[in-house]
Structure 1
């Protein structure tokens, strides 16, 4: 399957903010993103910031050249590959524990959200018809599917997390920031590394890489990673552990240097996941506005149903439908870098694919209500980027062009079971007593998208003086999306379910699964720009300020649309307007104590008009999410990072963020569950108090001023490591003890804040103790979530609004051992 890999292209990002580097090694060698062979001079100016940190300068390539992270007037945090290994942060979900303003949520790989400062993609069900606001890039290649965030990092040298809008330096525009991943590159000398970890819950992880020359002008590198772990939830129906880990990753690269000025890299990668995933546990119930006999307690009692445990941290479930999260992703890439007297020309060509074959239990219970729910999807993307980069004494610039094409084909099926009639139909109706009414009711969905984007972009850097630099940039972008949606519904007898029929059984069936067909098209031109000014007060102190006028492309709804009384889709909701972004930021980067300490502080404010938000309609059996535009959203706050390395025997860091992310104006938002499900109010009527069974519900809710989902006001990450000289088995080295942790204050887990779905704040602490040598041997034991903190990663409101709340509990305490060797 590696042959189905990509031909590279990409993007990276220019965003804003600064968190110190959580890196063991200073990246002093050329990374894949670097445009020129010249490297920044070695200096000992960055403070220690994490496990195994050497104290050397941390280099980044955010502006297409290698430079110290403290010299870059952008908001950026850097995490080194060895720190990733030491802390067990082997995917983006774990990475959020190291970077306070990164938010990661995943109920399964497809329904995954990666946000920065509370913005990026709507919280909830994935919709292929819109762009993500946080770009994920690997060796200059843009990954359009956020599902890639669930894969293990593979042979990673460094990760740069950039905050704020970007688009004037890179190919694909993203408005919230970027995660720029650089892998280790082929080397001119032979080298290798291997790592094996074992732990409780049957955890096994192996990583290996080997690199070296094939000839004077040709070198290659091959890497692999495999992870397996038992699930953390026990399914009493199947007597199996679910939500397991089962990941495999492969990467191969060949570097050809036909001349001293030309480098060509051909790369291919393939990743595979096949876990029994993704299930939830019962958390609680809450009263809604539905009639009391249509709420969870009454419906469960009527069928004699009880969950295996009402304590979610017993980690028991009884889901009876098939669960699967098979996930394949890969591609090939070709990157050519030509150094000339005038500058550096870079071409990146890429193809990537994503195959998704899931199975879910969409009723979240052990009853056969929904017996089949799956939306297999096949996606291909092609990208081409050209850049020319020039760096002079007073003037530098980068100009580029970018093309993107994506094709998505999704063919889904949902089928109802024998318990559906009693659960989904009005208990006062005779039809609810007949299981055959809904048993076998099936919706077959055919969903397609063609997504085309093209851009011209550029940025100029003018060094007015040795201290003052002015950097303007601009982008011209064109986007076009063509969407197709067709849902055909048939009942258990094989009859088509249509809106033309007046048969009471058909009427009841289409109230649960309604047929729908529509096509939608969006196209638009956008012009965006930014201006960055930086001033070096003195060596070790840099001030910077940024304004960016950016946008997020509009899109089409591909999860189905709300319909009128006759069943016709409301086509006004078929397209979603672009977001318009105004971003302001100012920061200071400081080094002191002879370079042994770093303190970076940034303040930001981002205002978004026509914010793309997920809403839902009132379907009985289907959680049909579609996109709409909220009038205005704002996120603002401050971020700070402190790191210190008083000696080679000790280093520590503390990073923090305060984020105030709210809907400033959203007057027609979907209502939370406690205000939904009742009779819709009409003129002269007043909505009932929240949680009034049989009450009146507003048609929509004004949630202006309320918090965006998934955002903690306060978030922190911290760590420290100390070591002493020691010898083991005749080898000189160091015994070390490291601690790292993070804290998040409470956050909402529903698009419209609900009293039922707030997740309380929590703190996680990890500990490691080991021995390492300067020759690359490292053995250590580790404990993660050392205090066995009970917490939720996400809460969900199942369809039907019965008051049921389910959740995804975070990992319990885990422990294990790791052995690493480099040669």
Structure 2
């Protein structure tokens, strides 16, 4: 009830601000196309949610679109900032990680980053699917916009967009010389340097690149090793070339590279380690006394080629070819103490090749896209589970190879001036081959992690198996426009996430692990309204949704004997319903308001899994909850601008975001779960009259709220009562200067 009251108060504040802004209507019409302008996000927004450019109002999908300039103006460093601006979404850096992404939309997602598991929210960079969460915490540079598509997007975006999709769209080069350089300094000795340039080589070819370096001391320290903790050391870059010999043909080649040498993140102990209470970390929640070490390196890189050819005014052909690979070497201290109570040294590797062909149809009455898709990928890795109290180590290693084929189509037909329907479908065939090896060793560490003479005394899992899953995922929607600026829509769709093999599967404890787990599916219903009012100075989007979720893939880990075992179950069924409201008032360029509120009610109706006490399958539906799914999310921000002759333009943007309490795992834990909290940010920006220079100041989490974004839960004496938490950033201040040329 408290969380609901807080959310409603925030909505009331947003409504009051919007009401104050609305009567000042009249000046936004001339800026209707300036969605990503340097001054403000005003007027109508164009998105590519259905693989073609459309007004946001016309798209019968719940979409939040935020320009790169808007994110930069508010001091956003990476895409996790979208969580504070998007209803019913959780987007965070994964537990024990610096650059691994976890994403949940409307209760559906996946927080387990081990190889072979795939996310439930798809991430796309320039229409290239990013299959692995490692290295997916993308920094905000050289970016045009981000689109967040809520609800299953399997028809157009594939099998693992069962919860939704995030589209990260980089800037196109164009054919004019331009560049910019941005430097920032802030709290914890933050030093960021970002530069980009576009160089035209004649009238048909342009080349460009962007380079970003992020360096920051830690929010805390490892009180055992002395190393920085929660620090940042990231180098990222992109290169691209565009060739446009005529109005019909466009070719773009792009490459990117990211190297993250930030120290590993270890947790903060929430309970003492039995009698060893002095093992609790000193200082605040960003400190640790982890003894596993401070070595961590994550690299990701990729190259893509996009070719578009317009056969005529009606039909355009498009090809997207991409290759990506990544590697992670890290250590995770599950217990947060100097000793090897529960330590996990590990590495991950992955690579993927994707090819997509599209045919885009555009007439006065019919618009659509038809396509073929192919993915060939592999994810592998290994880790030791070092349990010092037992003097034992369990090595887990293996790989999962995936080949995916799909054909899809989505067609919208305008039946009249006001009424249109959209029909779509995707047929997907996934073949997955999994190899899992798991063995016990006496002593600490296995041959893969520093003890070459170690010999296993027991093999727990050793198999190679394959499975093929096939699924058709349709989508139907209808739109009615009572006038040009209002769209009423309803949709029905199905989403699908492929089955697979548990990389941690323990064949001694759960012999059925060798058969893998089944796909999960969702059937979603949505109805909503999108509209522009008051001479297009007030934009409102409202949506209600209901989903039936089946065969949800849930990972359960617990201590069995002298090791930690894992099982992945298709636990049964659940239902999810809720609503979202987004409002944006743009009466003029000097005053704007944006606000949103989301509500999600998710409940398990059946949760069948192994009872570790009785070793029988039991329905735990009345004891389980959805993880990372707050019931309420809300945000409100306002931008006030003022021009000073001869000096330039000043803007001030305060922002407030709210999340009600949520559980970090399906099993509620009052020690670990996060209570409701609010975050307050503020930014002030000066831009010169010629828009070449700017200076901005950003304060984030101004009231220094401490809030958990992840955790581990391994209670008991053998594992050192290891209940630990990971936290979002503290209060920070940053000043940034930028020059454009």
Q: Would you say same fold, with TM above 0.5?
A: yes
C-alpha distance in 2, partners of 1:494/1:50? Answer: 55
1:778 aligns with 2:723: no
Could you tell me whether the CA contact under 8 Å between 1:51 and 1:86 is conserved in 2?
no
SS at match of 2:650: strand
By how many angstroms is 1:652 displaced?
0.9
C-alpha distance in 2, partners of 1:219/1:561? Answer: 54
By how many angstroms is 1:53 displaced?
1.5
SS at match of 2:609: coil
Structure 2 counterpart of 1:638: 579
**Deviation digits for residues 406-438 of structure 1, max 9, x if unmatched?**
01231333445xxx23xx4xxxxxxxxxxxxx1
1:451 aligns with 2:402: yes
SS at match of 1:403: strand
C-alpha distance in 2, partners of 1:663/1:615? Answer: 16
C-alpha distance in 1, partners of 2:735/2:562? Answer: 46
**Deviation digits for residues 581-609 of structure 1, max 9, x if unmatched?**
11000000121111111111100111111
- Which residue among 285, 288, 291 is the counterpart of 1:320? 291
**Deviation digits for residues 534-584 of structure 1, max 9, x if unmatched?**
1101122110110002322111111122524xxxx5135641111121100
By how many angstroms is 1:361 displaced?
1.6
Structure 2 counterpart of 1:380: 351
- Which residue among 213, 217, 240 is the counterpart of 2:227? 240
Could you tell me whether the CA contact under 8 Å between 1:159 and 1:181 is conserved in 2?
yes
- Which residue among 362, 372, 376 is the counterpart of 1:405? 376
Structure 2 counterpart of 1:367: 339
- Which residue among 759, 767, 780 is the counterpart of 2:674? 759
SS at match of 1:759: coil
For residues 765-804 of structure 1, the aligned pairs below 5 Å read: 765-776=680-691, 777-798=693-714, 800=716, 803-804=721-722
C-alpha distance in 2, partners of 1:709/1:346? Answer: 39
- Which residue among 249, 252, 255 is the counterpart of 2:242? 255
1:519 aligns with 2:457: no
For residues 122-521 of structure 1, the aligned pairs below 5 Å read: 123=111, 125-170=112-157, 173-284=160-271, 296-298=273-275, 300=276, 305-309=278-282, 313=284, 315-341=286-312, 342-370=314-342, 373-416=344-387, 420-421=388-389, 424=390, 438=391, 441-492=392-443, 515-521=460-466
Could you tell me whether the CA contact under 8 Å between 2:36 and 2:67 is conserved in 1?
no
By how many angstroms is 1:113 displaced?
1.7
SS at match of 1:571: helix
Structure 2 counterpart of 1:715: 633
Name structure 2 gaps, 5 residues minimum: 1-13, 16-28, 448-454
By how many angstroms is 1:622 displaced?
4.4
1:119 aligns with 2:108: yes
C-alpha distance in 2, partners of 1:735/1:186? Answer: 28
Q: 1:704 to 1:516 in 2, by over 3 A?
A: same
C-alpha distance in 2, partners of 1:651/1:328? Answer: 40
C-alpha distance in 2, partners of 1:487/1:702? Answer: 28
**Deviation digits for residues 606-625 of structure 1, max 9, x if unmatched?**
11111111112433554433
Bigger mean CA deviation after superposition, 718-727 or 458-467 = 718-727
Could you tell me whether the CA contact under 8 Å between 1:281 and 1:806 is conserved in 2?
yes
Could you tell me whether the CA contact under 8 Å between 1:200 and 1:815 is conserved in 2?
yes
C-alpha distance in 1, partners of 2:367/2:617? Answer: 55
SS at match of 2:80: helix
C-alpha distance in 1, partners of 2:90/2:668? Answer: 17
SS at match of 1:168: helix
By how many angstroms is 1:641 displaced?
0.6
C-alpha distance in 1, partners of 2:196/2:444? Answer: 56
Q: 1:51 to 1:808 in 2, by over 3 A?
A: farther
Bigger mean CA deviation after superposition, 54-63 or 486-495 = 486-495
C-alpha distance in 2, partners of 1:459/1:176? Answer: 19
Could you tell me whether the CA contact under 8 Å between 1:154 and 1:249 is conserved in 2?
no
**Deviation digits for residues 647-705 of structure 1, max 9, x if unmatched?**
221111111101112222114366xxxxx7xxx359xxxxxxxxxxxxxxx97561347
Q: 1:247 to 1:457 in 2, by over 3 A?
A: same
C-alpha distance in 1, partners of 2:213/2:198? Answer: 19
- Which residue among 589, 598, 607 is the counterpart of 2:530? 589
Bigger mean CA deviation after superposition, 762-771 or 610-619 = 610-619
Q: When the two structures are aligned, how many residues end up with a matched partner?
A: 702
**Deviation digits for residues 461-501 of structure 1, max 9, x if unmatched?**
110001111001111110010000113433249999xxxxx
Could you tell me whether the CA contact under 8 Å between 1:351 and 1:383 is conserved in 2?
yes
C-alpha distance in 1, partners of 2:423/2:626? Answer: 31
1:624 aligns with 2:583: no
By how many angstroms is 1:54 displaced?
4.5
SS at match of 1:96: helix
By how many angstroms is 1:365 displaced?
1.8
By how many angstroms is 1:349 displaced?
0.6
C-alpha distance in 2, partners of 1:319/1:153? Answer: 31
By how many angstroms is 1:530 displaced?
0.8
Q: 1:109 to 1:780 in 2, by over 3 A?
A: closer
Could you tell me whether the CA contact under 8 Å between 1:187 and 1:220 is conserved in 2?
no
**Deviation digits for residues 192-214 of structure 1, max 9, x if unmatched?**
12211100101111111101311
By how many angstroms is 1:191 displaced?
1.0
C-alpha distance in 1, partners of 2:224/2:538? Answer: 55
TM-score by length of 1: 0.81
Q: 1:557 to 1:43 in 2, by over 3 A?
A: farther
Q: 1:155 to 1:718 in 2, by over 3 A?
A: same
By how many angstroms is 1:819 displaced?
0.8
Structure 1 counterpart of 2:651: 736
SS at match of 1:471: strand
Structure 2 counterpart of 1:808: 726
Q: CA RMSD in A?
A: 2.7
Could you tell me whether the CA contact under 8 Å between 1:46 and 1:596 is conserved in 2?
no
User: Which structure carries more strand by proportion?
Assistant: 2
SS at match of 2:134: helix
C-alpha distance in 1, partners of 2:445/2:527? Answer: 63
C-alpha distance in 2, partners of 1:195/1:493? Answer: 47
C-alpha distance in 1, partners of 2:39/2:547? Answer: 36
Could you tell me whether the CA contact under 8 Å between 2:520 and 2:551 is conserved in 1?
yes
Could you tell me whether the CA contact under 8 Å between 1:650 and 1:721 is conserved in 2?
yes
C-alpha distance in 2, partners of 1:561/1:280? Answer: 26
Structure 2 counterpart of 1:546: 491
Could you tell me whether the CA contact under 8 Å between 1:769 and 1:781 is conserved in 2?
yes
C-alpha distance in 2, partners of 1:75/1:399? Answer: 22
Bigger CA radius of gyration: 1
Could you tell me whether the CA contact under 8 Å between 2:89 and 2:103 is conserved in 1?
yes
1:657 aligns with 2:598: yes
1:537 aligns with 2:482: yes
Q: 1:778 to 1:622 in 2, by over 3 A?
A: farther
Could you tell me whether the CA contact under 8 Å between 2:569 and 2:609 is conserved in 1?
no
Could you tell me whether the CA contact under 8 Å between 2:126 and 2:170 is conserved in 1?
yes
Q: 1:668 to 1:376 in 2, by over 3 A?
A: closer
Could you tell me whether the CA contact under 8 Å between 2:155 and 2:475 is conserved in 1?
yes
**Deviation digits for residues 34-82 of structure 1, max 9, x if unmatched?**
xxxxxxxx96458999994252321111223222212222110111011
By how many angstroms is 1:771 displaced?
1.4
SS at match of 2:629: coil
**Deviation digits for residues 111-161 of structure 1, max 9, x if unmatched?**
64211112022x4x3343333221111111110012233231331010000
Bigger mean CA deviation after superposition, 85-94 or 711-720 = 85-94
